[in-house]
Structure 1
Amino acid sequence: MSHPTAFEDGPADEGGVLLLSHVGFSFLEDLIGALDTRRLKAFVLTSLPLPEHLPQRLDDVAAKAHEVRSTDHHVLTRADVEQYLAELRRRGERVRGCVTVWEGYRHLMAHANALLGVPDLAQDQVLALRDKLALRNGLADAGLSRARAAALTPESLAAHQAGGRRHFVKPVSGIASFGTFPLTAGTTWGDIERIAEEARQDPVYASAFGADVPFLVEDYLPGREFSFEVLAADGAAHVVAVHEKCEVTETAGAVLENACVSPPESLGAVELAGGLAWVRGLLAHLDLRWGCFHLEARHHEGRWELIEANPRVGGALISHSVKALTGADDLLGLWIDLLLAAAGPDPDALDRYHRRLREISYAPDGAPPSDRATFFRVFFAERGLIARIGLGTDLPAQPVVTQILLKEGDRVASDVREVFLGQLLWSLTLDERERLLPDLMRASQNAIEVHYET
């Protein structure tokens, strides 16, 4: 299914970028907006949206993008990408790179960029990062992690429960927080089978897990949780933001990241400098020379431990937060500019890109690039039918980004994956944050008011 071009007067000589979308979403509005500001066409290739979103979702995207091509199945394949790229080439379109924020398609993005001659991660590197079992034990073998992991089976489940230590369970190749939780004495193999079956049946997330949905069990990582937002260009890593997850809820079926603040509130410059050095050493060890990374980590007793290395932009309002912090561009725009600089005809473009990133990134001594701070809160839906939803008014400061993602009449059916209800972001100076953050954290808990039908 193909939708016609939304505009005919665009600058064809500037070319465009291929955007890979999962079931019609994957930050498309933000990506298309970033391409519009760069006078580039958006060629959208999406897997078939769910029936409840047809045909409206494709019509909505077609009104913004240069072109939208939808497959007749819910999961994009390598052949889909190759065929669409070949068609664009036959028509004389100049495709300058490929981007996706859907982790299940990140290897397809790498394949497309290889076909286009754009520097990026290799497909096998992407797939290796998504294998959390092999990654954890590989880091332990290299002395870069004190934790180890094992495949979860009925036997290993019982053995770890009997060992008396804390452990954590997660899918080997999952996505978001689906099916991630601390192991307890009450966890049963039936619980694992139930979550695996829900993953297989989930029309949006199923393709990201694989047919068997294997799980792992690993040593529990203590400490506070952070994420490093990193852009790597020709082996040089730039950390443009560090977010502290100041509220994390561990449930029986998922770990929900409720609120984040940046720069981190609980770390000083010395600890941050150590984290920046650790990030660069980690990327060098894994040979991650190109791309955008959302590195999730825990810090405990002066030591950093990797949770996940995601080869993409972080979710929620991470990209918007970067824009508010740097006063420059959001993280999606910076990632697009990396692809353009790396593969463009101007030999000095990459040098200019490095200089630009150095100006908006953390210094090696842990100093943030500006006096700006952000706080954002994510609201997750509960199982049930939404009867009423709206934005509250009793807040010590007004958010600069407000997104309410569900509406009255929407039904939430899952409780083992995060279902976003809405999200809000505040932009502050560091002085304002010190004064307002305690009240803002408390008041913002009810900033989106939602009621469910009983």
Structure 2
Amino acid sequence: MTTPAPADDRPRLLMVMPYRQFVSKAQAEGFWVGAIWDPRLETPEYLDDVRARADLFVTADFRDPRVLRRTLHEVAREHRATLIYHIGREETMVAAYEAAEDLGGELNPAAAIQLLADKHAMRDLLARRGLSPVAFEAAPTRQEVADAVERIGYPAVVKPSALAGSRGVFLWQQPQDLTAWTALVDQYGYDGPFLVEEYLRGPEYSVETLSRDGRHQIVGITEKLLGPPPLFVEVGHVHPAPLPAQRRRAVEELTTRFLTACDYRFGPAHTEVIWTERGPRIVESQARLGGDRIPRLVELATGLDIEQAVFAALAGRPAEPVAPTATAIVRFFTFPPGRVDEIRGLETAARLTHVDELSLRLSPGDTVPAVRDSKSRHGHVIVSGVTAEEARTRCAQVLAAIEVVVDGTPVRADGRTGVLGTPV
């Protein structure tokens, strides 16, 4: 624990694993901010920055929910925190909200957070309410997955119930896939439980919402760009999604009905939906902002800083809906495994005026890791345009400009092999 917070009359907000910008944005809305972090989860440099910004900085081992709950109890009482909040990674959310309920400082019922964090509990709720029906079956251990897949029918999606960020999600298309699936879950050291679901075919979207007092404001709908099966790693997002008005309304209505059914009361939610031939179906939802730089896409498209809006709403100043005036795209780089011989075109792409962010996590001499989930992608670019067509054209221009030579083969960021500068 560091220096105690100053004695002032600001409302006291205790946050579990707040990212550094959350600390600053909460303070800008008038809050005293205490930050609780597990030092294993970020670099010392990053946490030093959080420590410098926060009014109070405390470390705890999040691997044991009892330790986290005890820490929250002690810090909240010592520093008179009136609100406890968590919009970081899902794994520790339930414990944080249970402690908040004990102390009377919750913004959401712990049961609502449990429904959003537990894929099986979410499916049970949807089935009971007759919302977004999907065939599913729980498999407590990996030994029970193959039989569950047989009962659901091929192809089936297998999800590790206790992993987040799409880690370990796999499309099981035939019995022989057992070998590849086993190798995948071995990489995560995960043995169960699992959820086995019918394969939902169709375009996928995420719905970004802000809730206050149980009322859910649609911020916007984002189109997902997915890699190939069996992993379906997300390779990009487009905001706002190009959706016909009737389809958009159906997706929005399903999302708000779902959040109401969960009794979700306050804050952002990131709800994933697939549009099937039977209409929209919920994939899953998280009680947090969307990852993959989606908040930045929202800001570029609408001007709304959705992160700031969370804390403004907490301070009693909810944001009004904002119509998009542009389209923003993030595309992630996924190069083939091998050794990096050379990188070309990165500086040229970075100088393009329509590039908002550009990051490549590779250097000459590096070994390119295989992409198996969102954390193993190799970098990203964000661009925007007045129209969706302009944004897509600009994104294609950047992807065509960047080339990584892997084991002697030039590979462009758009996935093509060949000579730099070939027209797209």
Aligned residue among 100, 103, 107 for 2:90: 103
Query: 1:244-283 alignment to 2 at 5 Å?
Result: 244-245=223-224, 247-252=225-230, 254-265=231-242, 267-283=243-259
Structure 1 residue 373 corresponds to structure 2 residue 327: yes
Structure-2 change in CA distance of 1:313 and 1:428 (3 Å): same
Which of 206, 210, 214 is the matching residue for 1:231? Answer: 210
2:53 corresponds, among 64, 78, 87, to 64
Which residue in the other structure is 2:397 paired with? 443
- 2:39–2:47 contact (8 Å) kept in structure 1: no
Aligned pair in 2 of structure 1 residues 214, 84: CA closer, same or farther (>3 Å)?
Answer: closer
| Residue of structure 1 equivalent to 2:372 | 416
Query: How far apart in 2 are the matches of 1:404 and 1:47?
Result: 27
Once the two structures are superposed, the pairs formed by residues 288-307 of structure 1 within 5 Å of their partners are 288-301=264-277, 303-307=279-283
1:335 equivalent in structure 2: 310
2:134 aligned counterpart, secondary structure: coil
Count of residues in correspondence between the two structures? 403
CA distance in 2, matches of 1:385, 1:42: 45
| Identical residues among aligned pairs (%) | 24
Cα distance, 1:109–1:44 mapped onto 2, change above 3 Å? same
- Structure 1 residue 105 displacement after superposition: 1.6
Residue by residue, what CA displacement relative to the aligned partner does 1:190-238 show, whole Å, maximum 9, x if unpaired?
Answer: 44443333323xxxxxxxxxx7422222111111000000112122110
State the partner residue of 1:393: 348
Deviation at 1:273, TM superposition (A): 1.5
Give matches, 1:15-414, under 5 Å. 15-21=11-17, 28-49=19-40, 55-71=44-60, 73=61, 75=63, 77-87=65-75, 89-90=77-78, 92=79, 94-152=81-139, 154=143, 157=146, 160=149, 165-185=154-174, 187-200=176-189, 212-245=191-224, 247-252=225-230, 254-265=231-242, 267-301=243-277, 303-329=279-305, 331-338=306-313, 340-341=314-315, 349=316, 352-353=317-318, 356-357=319-320, 359-360=321-322, 369-380=323-334, 391-394=346-349, 398-404=354-360
Partner amino acid for 1:19?
M
Q: What secondary structure is seen at the aligned counterpart in 2 of 1:289?
A: coil
Q: Deviations over 1:45-72 (max 9, x none)?
A: 111326xx7644433433333333223x
Q: Structure 1 residues 137 and 426, CA, compared in 2 at 3 Å: closer, same or farther?
A: same
1:284 deviation in Å? 2.5
**Separation (CA, whole Å) in 1 of partners of 2:298 and 2:340:** 32
Distance 1:242 1:156, change over 3 A: same
CA shift at 1:404, angstroms?
4.8
Distance in 2 separating the partners of 1:129 and 1:87: 26
CA gap of 1:161–1:401, structure 2 versus 1, over 3 A, is same
Partners of 1:231 and 1:293 within 8 A in 2:
yes
* Greater mean alpha carbon deviation, residues 407-416 or residues 306-315: 407-416
Rounded Cα–Cα distance in structure 1 between residues aligned with 2:338 and 2:264 = 42
Q: CA deviation at 1:129?
A: 2.4
User: Which residue of 2 is the match for residue 206 of structure 1?
Assistant: none
What is the alpha-carbon distance in structure 1 between the residues aligned to residue 405 and residue 32 of structure 2?
Answer: 41
Q: Which residue identity lines up with residue 56 of structure 2 in the other structure? A: E
Q: Secondary structure of the residue that 2:378 maps to in structure 1?
A: strand
CA shift in 2, pair 1:98/1:162, >3 Å = closer
Deviation at 1:311, TM superposition (A): 1.4
Question: Conserved in 2, the CA contact under 8 Å of 1:399 and 1:425?
Answer: yes
Q: Which runs of 5 or more structure 2 residues have no equivalent in the other structure?
A: 409-424
Which shows bigger deviation, 397-406 or 127-136? Answer: 397-406
> Quick one: which amino acid aligns to residue 313 of structure 1?
L
Cα distance change of structure 1 residues 62 and 445 upon mapping to structure 2, 3 Å threshold: same
Q: For the Cα contact (< 8 Å) 2:84–2:106, is it kept in 1?
A: no
- With over 3 angstroms needed to count, the CA separation of the structure-2 counterparts of 1:54 and 1:427, relative to structure 1, is closer
Structure 1: where are the runs of 5+ without partners?
22-26, 201-210, 342-348, 361-368
Query: CA deviation digits over 1:394-421, x for unaligned, max 9?
Result: 4876222344556677767665332243
Assess, with a 3 A threshold, how the Cα gap between structure 1 residues 4 and 11 changes in structure 2: closer, same or farther: closer
Give the deviation of 1:384 after TM superposition.
Answer: 6.0
**Could you say what secondary structure the match of 1:17 adopts?**
strand
TM-score (norm 1): 0.76
Partner Cα distance (1:113, 1:93) in 2 = 13
> Which has the larger displacement, 62-71 or 443-452?
443-452
Residues 450 and 121 of structure 1: is their aligned pair in 2 closer, same or farther, counting only changes over 3 Å? farther
Deviation (angstroms), 1:116 = 5.0
Quick one: distance in 1 between partners of 2:299 and 2:147?
Answer: 47
Conserved? CA contact 1:136–1:145, under 8 Å: no
Distance in 2 between the 1:124 and 1:452 partners? Answer: 49
